[in-house]
Amino acid sequence: MIADTLPDREYQFGGSTISCQLDAEAPATQALQDRIPEEAMCQHIGPFQLGLPFGEQTEPLGTPARRVVDTDSQRLYLYRLKPASDKPPPYLLLGGVGDTLTLIQLTGSKIDPLYDWDFSSVELGVPEDSITAVFGPLRQTKDVEDMDGVKLWSYLPHQISLEIRDEKLFSIRIWLKGRAPQL
């Protein structure tokens, strides 16, 4: 993980669109731009950055609780996280195609504050209005099959989907365009 070297980069809604806001002059930003696709600059959750080597991002986490998929061309690793409450334990899902991290999903009611992980200043458990303050009005929404009361919010054409349960953020999923492992 390279949390200490990542510049502040966040999506922000302005006018009628979402855009990635970053300091293009910062040395850390320039170094990162040489390593990942431009469209991935704001696609990180906490210290996990899409477009970087899969092993570089997963090694500090140790052995995953479950290897959902593990082939030469595609990997999907699940890590259980310490919960902030008695709710079902949260988890982190990291996916890769080839040697590149191409999918990050963080799911749960809330994670322990020790993780300090967010996506564009939005953390699990925040109310809906905190989400729309950052990403703007919904682009698409639908009910999630087999999950009563859960709504899926999508911000296409950006590779961002959020799940809302009880009017609070329950899951964040981001992926590289055309490069996410098949779930």
pLDDT for 78-93, tens place per residue?
999 887 666 678 999 9
CA dist., res. 172 & res. 65, Å (int): 19
Question: Does residue 106 sit within a domain?
Answer: yes
Residue with structure tokens 């988890």? 91
Domain count, the chain: 1
Q: Do 112 and 83 form a contact (C-beta atoms < 8 A)?
A: yes
Checking if the pLDDT of 2 tops 50, the result is: no
CA dist., res. 138 & res. 180, Å (int): 23
CA dist., res. 152 & res. 87, Å (int): 20
Span 26-53, average pLDDT: 85
Span 1-27, average pLDDT: 72
Question: Does residue 13 sit within a domain?
Answer: yes
Q: How many CB atoms lie within 10 A of CB 47?
A: 16
Question: Within 13 A of 73's CA, how many CA atoms are on the CB side?
Answer: 4
Question: Does residue 82 sit within a domain?
Answer: yes
pLDDT for 158-167, tens place per residue?
899 999 999 9
pLDDT at residue 5 in the model: 46
**Structure token pair of residue 88:** 């079902």
Question: Does residue 182 sit within a domain?
Answer: no
Question: Does residue 180 sit within a domain?
Answer: no
Question: Does residue 183 sit within a domain?
Answer: no
pLDDT for 109-143, tens place per residue?
888 777 778 999 899 999 999 999 999 887 778 88
Helices within 34-87 (DSSP H only): 54-58
CA dist., res. 121 & res. 46, Å (int): 9
Question: Does residue 90 sit within a domain?
Answer: yes
Q: Do 97 and 182 form a contact (C-beta atoms < 8 A)?
A: no
Residue with structure tokens 């092993």? 55
Question: For 132, phi and psi rounded to 5 degrees?
Answer: -70, -25
pLDDT at residue 1 in the model: 41
Q: Dihedral of CA 147/143/129/171: which sign?
A: positive
Question: Does residue 74 sit within a domain?
Answer: yes
pLDDT at residue 153 in the model: 92
Domain containing 41: what range? Answer: 3-175
Residue with structure tokens 């303050």? 133
